[in-house]
Each structure stands twice: as structure tokens, then as C-alpha cells.
């Protein structure tokens, strides 16, 4: 039997300014570590060595560093897969147009229009084929290229751009640790909290943990009267 994965959707609520600043700073450091890991992996740095460098450079615990490196690795893998999918997509489109152009009943005007479309799709096919053969992919813009262009045109503020680039925190669970040591859902006195390992350390070099209040939505079925989905508090 394959392991069961549980996805929880929650909302941080009633945060103080200090708590918001703590989370924003943690996401800033983590996302910066991801971008650093991304570049170093493209340069061929060994993942095991990179994890130690990231932990040292960004004051992360080794598990946080591993998660930053893994997030970067997943981004690289997904970009290679995207190149493959785009290449296959345009290859099919070119083949389809070639078949259509074989129809002798097409008017001269229609043929010219289809040839123009074919040339465009062939250029796209060549574009993605180049990346596939060289085992590379187009430049990646963290925060999306569209938003970067809006920032270049002054359509969004620097803060909006930074918020988009530094808006995530990724952490994997560990069965041997009883779940996720860096991000953990806990229930105390009937209230739900997200326990977060911060960048601050104790004298024994352990991460200081804080509790952030969260709301775990549960939809009650009008038909059965039962909770429709997961009863998080009973997990």
C-alpha cells in the first residue's frame, strides 16, 4: 500500500505585526536560498555539498537547507519537462499542418495563410528542439517574467515585485521525526496553530519555534450533516 499524503489548506489569522515580519523575513531568506541553489545546481555543484553551503550562508538548519535545494532541483526538473512537452506539442502541430497542406482543393489564399502559420510553428519547434538537444531550458524568472516586465515598465512597485519573488516556504515531512519538524500543525486547547522553526537559534544551536494561529476550513454537508472532507482536528 502506498503512503497516504494529506494536504491541508489553512489561513494564518490574527497575526501581529511582529509575526508578519517574522514570516516575511523567513520567506525572503528561504526564497533567496532557493534562487542561489538553482544557480549553483545549473553550474553542476554536488547537491550534498550545496546543502551544507546553503545552511551556512543563510543560517538555515540542515533540513531547511535541504528543502531549499530540493525546491530548486524540482524547478530545474520541471523546466526540462516543460521543454520536452513544448517540443512534442509543436511537433504535432507542424505534422498536422503539413497534412492539411497536402489537400489539393485548398485555395491559393488558404495555402498562403497555412504556410505562414506553418513557418511560425516550425520556428517554435526549432526553438524548443535546440533546448532539448543541448539539455538546457529558457531563462527562469523567479516571480514570473510577466510581472518582471510590469516592474520594468513601472506598473508595479518594487515592494510588490519583491513580495511576489519571496512568497513561499517549502518544507517536507519526515516519518522518523513524527511529521514535519519545521512546519507542523498543532492543536492546543481547541485552537489550531502552525508551529514554525524560525531562523533564531537557542544556545544549543536549535531553531526557536513559534506558534502562529491558523484557520482550518471544514465544510459541513447540508445533505448528510457530516464534515465533507478531512476532519483535521482528528488527524
How are beta strands 11-12 and 183-188 bridged, if at all? unpaired
To which H or E segment does residue 157 belong?
none
CA count, 13 A, side-chain hemisphere, 23: 20
Q: What is the pLDDT at residue 235?
A: 47
Give the span between the Cα atoms of 7 and 84, in whole angstroms: 29
Give the span between the Cα atoms of 155 and 164, in whole angstroms: 14
Q: Nearest CA to 130 among 159, 158, 90, 100?
A: 90
Q: What is the pLDDT at residue 192?
A: 87
Q: What is the pLDDT at residue 87?
A: 98
pTM: 0.84
Give the span between the Cα atoms of 48 and 73, in whole angstroms: 12
Q: What is the pLDDT at residue 186?
A: 87
Residue 104 φ then ψ, to 5°: -70, -10
Q: What is the pLDDT at residue 177?
A: 73
Give the span between the Cα atoms of 62 and 54, in whole angstroms: 8
Q: What is the pLDDT of residues 120-133, one digit of tens each?
A: 999 999 999 999 99
Task: Tally the residues of the chain.
Answer: 235
Q: What is the pLDDT at residue 187?
A: 86
Query: Are 50 and 41 a contacting pair, CB within 8 Å?
Result: yes
**Residues of the chain where predicted confidence (pLDDT) is lower than 50:** 228, 232, 235
Give the span between the Cα atoms of 213 and 229, in whole angstroms: 22
Number of Cβ within 10 Å of residue 140's Cβ equals 15
Q: What is the pLDDT at residue 180?
A: 85
Distances (CA, A) of 3 to 31, 51, 153, 175: 29, 26, 48, 11
Average pLDDT, the chain: 89
- How far separated are the first and last CA of the chain, in Å rounded? 19
Q: What is the pLDDT of residues 44-73, one digit of tens each?
A: 999 999 999 999 999 999 999 999 999 999
Amino acid at each position: 500500500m502506498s503512503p497516504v499524503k494529506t494536504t491541508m489548506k489553512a489561513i494564518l489569522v490574527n497575526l501581529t505585526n511582529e509575526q508578519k515580519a517574522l514570516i516575511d523575513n523567513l520567506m525572503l531568506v528561504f526564497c533567496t536560498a532557493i534562487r542561489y541553489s538553482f544557480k549553483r545546481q545549473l553550474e553542476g555543484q554536488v547537491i550534498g555539498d550545496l546543502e551544507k553551503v546553503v545552511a551556512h550562508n543563510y543560517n538555515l538548519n540542515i533540513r531547511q537547507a535541504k528543502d531549499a535545494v530540493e525546491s530548486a532541483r524540482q524547478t530545474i526538473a520541471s523546466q526540462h519537462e516543460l521543454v520536452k512537452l513544448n517540443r512534442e506539442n509543436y511537433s504535432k502541430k507542424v505534422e498536422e499542418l503539413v497534412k492539411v497542406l497536402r489537400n489539393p482543393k485548398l485555395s491559393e489564399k488558404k495555402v498562403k495563410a497555412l504556410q505562414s502559420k506553418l513557418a511560425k510553428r516550425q520556428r517554435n519547434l526549432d526553438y524548443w528542439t535546440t533546448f532539448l538537444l543541448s539539455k538546457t531550458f529558457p531563462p527562469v524568472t523567479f516571480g514570473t517574467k510577466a510581472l518582471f516586465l510590469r516592474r520594468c515598465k513601472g506598473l508595479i512597485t518594487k515592494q510588490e515585485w519583491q513580495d511576489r519573488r519571496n512568497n513561499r516556504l517549502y518544507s517536507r515531512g519526515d516519518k522518523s521525526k513524527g511529521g514535519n519538524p519545521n512546519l507542523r500543525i498543532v492543536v492546543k486547547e481547541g485552537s489550531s496553530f502552525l508551529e514554525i522553526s524560525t531562523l533564531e537559534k537557542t544556545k544549543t544551536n536549535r531553531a526557536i519555534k513559534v506558534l502562529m494561529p491558523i484557520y482550518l476550513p471544514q465544510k459541513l454537508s447540508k445533505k448528510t450533516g457530516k464534515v465533507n472532507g478531512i476532519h483535521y482536528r482528528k488527524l
